[in-house]
Amino acid sequence: MSSGDPARPPRRVDRAGLVIAALLAGLAAVLVWDARGLQSAAMYGMGPEAMPVVVASGLALLAIGNFIDALRGNLPARESADPVPVVLILIGLALLIAIIGFGGGFILATSALFVTTSAAFGRRAILVDSIIALVMSTFIYLAFDRLLTLSLPAGPLERLL
Amino acid sequence: MMDTFAALAHGMAVAVQPMNLLYALIGVFLGTAVGVLPGIGPALTVALLLPVTYKLDPGGSLIMFAGIYYGGMYGGSTTAILINTPGESASMATALEGNKMAKAGRGGPALATSAIGSFVAGTIATIGLAFLAPWLVDFAVRFGPEDYFALMCVAFVTVSATFGDSPVRGLTSLFIGLTLGLVGIDKLTGQARLAFGIPELLDGVEVTTLAVGLFAVGEALYVASRRHHTEEKLEPVRGSLWMTKEDWKRSWKPWLRGTMFGFPIGALPAGGAEIPTFLSYSTEKRLTKHPEEFGKGAIEGVAGPEAANNASAAGTLVPLLTLGLPTSATAAMMLAGFQQYGLNPGPLLFAERPDLVWGLIASLFIANCMLLVLNLPLVGLWVRLLAIPQPWLYAGILVFATMGTIAAKPSVVELSMLAGFGVLGFLMRRFDFPIAPVVVGLILGPIAESQLRRALAISLGDPMTLVQSPISATLLAVALIALLAPFVMKGLGRFKANED
């Protein structure tokens, strides 16, 4: 409408918004696909497959709504994002999951997460942070495992304590 | 009337047992300490501290919860005032004026008026809760399953349409939550839905995993991604901590007005402290004798919204305790706290475990008093917590966040879900989708479904049962109006924080 107005840039199609709309539509499809395998055992009223279909219909409608918003460029303005720290934290989470999964124990797992997160937020003193992380997580392990008797997974380090 | 006093007195007797006082004190202390950390709102505070209460008995745990809840609220406003990073949208108004006051060297009075205002509002609202609850319980006993279903529809609509900027994005969040709520074994027929053959998914999605993932991991990812934009600045608390006579004179009316906004709106199944804080802020701006100070640090702009925020927090406990209806992310976490002991809030709980319910209500009073006494003298300690360097702060938050999941279910699947929800939370923040409806959808979706199916089973499959009950018909009409209204009156009454 106001393409001649220099103060307002013309609205552009928001690609990320299109992806969001596609994901919602995909989620709706998954729901319907999953619901097809359910048997309606209820004599009266709704069976277990009714609610997924209702939710899927809602998601499909919302996919359309988001699609329209994206076409109109109606999404709120975003500032640029730095992917590096995000990836670093995700690596930290992956390390944590792997260490827990392979029986490395609570202390090593959370220390790995601590050091990567700290690095993601701009710290470069990995050795110092590692020591802090090990001391802190050992302390947490002792406090929660021994004092509050929560069972935290034990690995080689925990067995030494 | 007398019943309420008797019940409350009984609750007090439970709450003042030395062990329970200690639990309340620990809760208040932990709640404030965690809530004061930047980016952590009351909902996350409750989610993070849930594992701490695993091993306690239900009574003690709920009392500690009351403390954590109010402590998290106090902590959040301290952060909003001193570093202008409101942990949740309800603290936005506080940050607006409070941070300006702190910059002008009046951080002390800003903290004081927010603490005392919270105390006043919390106390009045808790009294309101104590008197409204039995009345509402009497009413709620008559609710049939179709009425509960209709009530939940109202909550779904108001929670998702009133939060955030756009009803489409709010509803999208809600439906993501509803989808997550479908995961697991269907309770009526024993069939697995959306489990994809993964045994861990049969139990469904854990509310704490979702909340901690969305709030803690998501927030950490989001802050990390935009670290290059903003440098948080901690305002030192200079000058006197105490309010002058003038400050008192300018504060007491906003406190009361804020309470009047906060409690009724919080008690409605509309949820969200955002609207009452906004109403309070704009009212104070209109009524003040010092309009020139607004935007530069007016004490009324802290006193009113803070009171409204706390009153509405107590208000959300009304539908939570009497109907089992959580209308905010924090209330959803409280419900999760009940559920870990197999307790379902609602009329039945008032009848079966009055000691628990009234003990909790009485502890709210006690927690409030403890906070008033603790908070101001300890402000130096909280400020020091705020000064933790950002890398260690977020690294520590993530360690604590994952610890809760590791302690509850140390499985690769559960931890992967936590990480996945973290990514979801990050993307939702980045694209401005509200978070709270997801949590409410997850926790209320399955309840709404089972109520609907129960209603239809009773009526032999006749859907007209939903409109034949007058309560249900009215509530469904309300839900429909609430759903359509934002599309009709687009942009009406939306609160936008002024850019700095």
ipTM of the assembly?
0.89
Q: What is the pLDDT of residue B500?
A: 31
Tokens matching residue A142: 């002792």
Tokens matching residue B416: 């992967």
- B215-229 pLDDT, tens digit per residue, is 889 988 998 888 776
Name, of B46-55, B151-160, B271-280, the range with top average pLDDT.
B151-160
User: Above 80 in pLDDT, residue B185?
Assistant: yes
Across the A/B interface, how many CB contacts are shorter than 8 Å?
205
Rounded to a whole number of angstroms, the distance from the CA of B389 to the nearest CA of chain A is 10
Cβ within 8 Å, pair B416-A97 = yes
User: Above 80 in pLDDT, residue B328?
Assistant: yes
Residues of chain B neighbouring A47 (CB-CB closer than 8 A): 189
Rounded to a whole number of angstroms, the distance from the CA of A63 to the nearest CA of chain B is 8
Of A81, A88, A137, the CB nearest to B399: A137
Across chain B, what does the average pLDDT equal?
Answer: 84
Q: What is the pLDDT of residue A1?
A: 40
SS3 B451: helix
CA distance B202 to B342: 18
Cβ within 8 Å, pair A48-B407 = no
Going A47 to A48 to A51 to A53, the CA torsion angle's sign is negative
Within 10 angstroms of residue B60's Cβ, the number of other Cβ atoms is 21
Cβ within 8 Å, pair A42-B189 = yes
Cβ within 8 Å, pair A55-B399 = no
Residues of chain A neighbouring B172 (CB-CB closer than 8 A): 24, 62, 65-66
pLDDT band for position A20 (cuts 50, 70, 90):
very high
Average pLDDT of span B476-491: 78
> Pick from B99, B96, B126, B123: which is nearest to B110 by CA?
B99
Residues of chain B neighbouring A122 (CB-CB closer than 8 A): 227, 390-391
Q: Find, in chain B, the residue whose alpha carbon is nearest to that of A62.
A: B172
Within 10 angstroms of residue B139's Cβ, the number of other Cβ atoms is 13
Tokens matching residue B306: 């803070």
Q: What is the pLDDT of residue A44?
A: 66
- B445-464 pLDDT, tens digit per residue, is 998 998 898 888 888 878 88
Of B51, B402, B430, the CB nearest to A150: B51
Of A27, A76, A97, the CB nearest to B412: A97
Q: Find, in chain B, the residue whose alpha carbon is nearest to that of A40.
A: B189
Whether B495 has its CB under 8 Å from any CB of chain A: the answer is: no
CA distance B51 to B407: 7
User: Above 50 in pLDDT, residue A3?
Assistant: no
pTM as predicted:
0.86
Q: Find, in chain B, the residue whose alpha carbon is nearest to that of A15.
A: B431
User: Above 60 in pLDDT, residue B351?
Assistant: yes
Average pLDDT of span B167-193: 90
User: Above 70 in pLDDT, residue B276?
Assistant: yes
User: Above 60 in pLDDT, residue B343?
Assistant: yes
**Number of H helices and number of E strands within chain B?**
22, 2
User: Above 50 in pLDDT, residue A2?
Assistant: no
CA distance B266 to B460: 36
Mutate to test the interface with B, among A38, A40, A51 (most CBs of B within 10 A): A51
Compare B239 and B150 and report the one with higher pLDDT. B150
User: Above 50 in pLDDT, residue A146?
Assistant: yes
Cβ within 8 Å, pair A58-B460 = no
Average pLDDT of span B191-203: 86
Average pLDDT of span A52-73: 91
Mutate to test the interface with B, among A14, A36, A62 (most CBs of B within 10 A): A62
Cβ within 8 Å, pair A113-B460 = no
User: Above 50 in pLDDT, residue A96?
Assistant: yes
Q: What is the pLDDT of residue B494?
A: 45
Q: What is the pLDDT of residue A6?
A: 44
Q: What is the pLDDT of residue A41?
A: 65
Whether B224 has its CB under 8 Å from any CB of chain A: the answer is: yes
Cβ within 8 Å, pair A96-B226 = no
Residues of chain B neighbouring A27 (CB-CB closer than 8 A): 176, 179
B403 in Cβ contact with B118 (< 8 Å): no
Average pLDDT of span B296-312: 88
CA atoms within 13 A on the CB side of B255: 20
Say which range, A128-132, B293-297, B350-354, has the weakest mean pLDDT.
Answer: B293-297
CA atoms within 13 A on the CB side of B215: 30
User: Above 90 in pLDDT, residue A117?
Assistant: yes
Cβ within 8 Å, pair B410-A152 = yes
Of B217, B392, B432, the CB nearest to A76: B432
Cβ within 8 Å, pair B179-A59 = yes
User: Above 90 in pLDDT, residue B51?
Assistant: no
Angle (CA) B155-B130-B260 rounded to 5° is 65
Instruction: Kindly give the interhelix angle for B354-375 and B18-35, rounded to the nearest 10 degrees.
Output: 60
CA atoms within 13 A on the CB side of A37: 11
CA distance B275 to B476: 22
Instruction: Kindly give the interhelix angle for B245-267 and B274-287, rounded to the nearest 10 degrees.
Output: 140
User: Above 50 in pLDDT, residue B398?
Assistant: yes
User: Above 80 in pLDDT, residue B165?
Assistant: no
Of B196, B410, B461, the CB nearest to A153: B410
User: Above 90 in pLDDT, residue A114?
Assistant: yes
Residues of chain A neighbouring B422 (CB-CB closer than 8 A): 93
Q: What is the pLDDT of residue A19?
A: 93
Cβ within 8 Å, pair A35-B399 = no
pLDDT band for position B123 (cuts 50, 70, 90):
very high
User: Above 80 in pLDDT, residue B205?
Assistant: yes
Rounded to a whole number of angstroms, the distance from the CA of B457 to the nearest CA of chain A is 5
Residues of chain A neighbouring B196 (CB-CB closer than 8 A): 34
Average pLDDT of span B244-268: 87
User: Above 50 in pLDDT, residue A138?
Assistant: yes
pLDDT band for position A11 (cuts 50, 70, 90):
low
Whether B426 has its CB under 8 Å from any CB of chain A: the answer is: yes
Q: What is the pLDDT of residue A5?
A: 43
Q: What is the pLDDT of residue B83?
A: 79
Q: What is the dihedral of CA B446, B448, B451, B453, to 10 degrees?
A: -70
- A21-61 pLDDT, tens digit per residue, is 999 999 999 999 988 888 776 566 678 888 899 999 999 99
